[in-house]
């Protein structure tokens, strides 16, 4: 699918997607009110209770460490972030991918040990046919430009699955996603998986397992938002 945002921006101007104030990104007032993920597990970015010590690990990571090394998830998947993601995924407002990448890049492009390549979490062929694009690849494309990193959109392949992950619990998601990814070539040592939202981490964990088996030695996960645990 062709990204028409540059043409639309040139012809009609741009505006904040949350309040319509003129501008090419989320305006400062709306940005300040975003639900930032400020107190989270240092491994999987799950939001933690405020009384948890800084740099804590959540119970799940202590009990069963994930296959990735660390997650960067600057926002919580609550209003209005859920609406922005839905506008990208289901209403095909591709310019939102650039805006979400803008937010994410502010938390990863800070001089830290950067990865060798960005790898968007692959979508299945059925999903690509029905939606017309992969939202993870759309975010990664903009993020790669902003962070000056290559994007390997074809490194991971996702087999078609009979069941969606939506509505499944942690254990069911892990079983459902098992074996759906394959690595099409040897990855570099340091990889950053890119996606829109992390819910239980099952998808990122399975993709990381496949990448590590293919030769990656460090796997970061960069997502726009993290879903809080129910309750």
Q: Is the pLDDT of residue 2 over 90?
A: no
Closest CA to 72 of 218, 202, 194: 194
* Domains of the chain by residue range: 37-226
CATH topology of domain 37-226: Rossmann fold (3.40.50)
170-173: which pairs have CB atoms within 8 A and are 24 or more residues apart? Answer: 170/60, 170/200, 170/202, 173/199, 173/200, 173/202, 173/203
Predicted pLDDT at 177: 78
pLDDT for 24-50, tens place per residue? 789 999 999 999 999 999 999 999 998
Q: Is the pLDDT of residue 126 over 50?
A: yes
How much is the mean pLDDT over the chain? 88
Radius of gyration, alpha carbons of the chain: 17
Question: What is the total residue count of the chain?
Answer: 231
Average pLDDT over residues 54-76: 95
How far apart CA 135 and CA 87 sit, in angstroms, is 11
For 182, the enclosing helix (H) or strand (E) is strand 181-183
pTM: 0.87
Residue with tokens 């040592």: 189
């Amino acid at each position: 699918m062709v990204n028409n945002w540059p043409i639309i921006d040139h012809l009609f101007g741009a505006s904040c997607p949350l309040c319509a104030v003129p501008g090419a990104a989320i305006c400062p007032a709306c940005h300040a009110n975003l639900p930032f993920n400020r107190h989270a597990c240092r491994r999987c970015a799950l939001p933690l209770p405020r009384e948890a010590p800084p740099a804590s690990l959540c119970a799940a990571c202590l009990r069963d460490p994930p296959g990735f090394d660390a997650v960067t998830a600057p926002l919580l998947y609550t209003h209005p972030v859920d609406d922005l993601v839905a506008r990208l995924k289901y209403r095909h407002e591709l310019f939102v991918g650039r805006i979400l990448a803008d937010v994410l890049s502010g938390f990863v492009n800070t001089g830290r040990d950067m990865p060798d390549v960005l790898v968007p979490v692959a979508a299945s062929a059925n999903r690509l046919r029905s939606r017309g694009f992969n939202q993870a690849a759309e975010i990664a494309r903009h993020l790669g430009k902003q962070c000056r990193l290559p994007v390997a959109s074809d490194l991971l392949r996702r087999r078609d699955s009979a069941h969606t992950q939506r509505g499944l619990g942690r254990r069911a998601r892990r079983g459902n996603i098992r074996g759906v990814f394959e690595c099409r070539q040897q990855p570099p040592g340091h990889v950053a998986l890119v996606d829109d939202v992390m819910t239980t981490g099952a998808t990122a964990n399975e993709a990381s397992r496949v990448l590590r088996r293919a030769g990656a030695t460090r796997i970061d996960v960069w997502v726009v938002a993290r879903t809080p645990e129910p309750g």
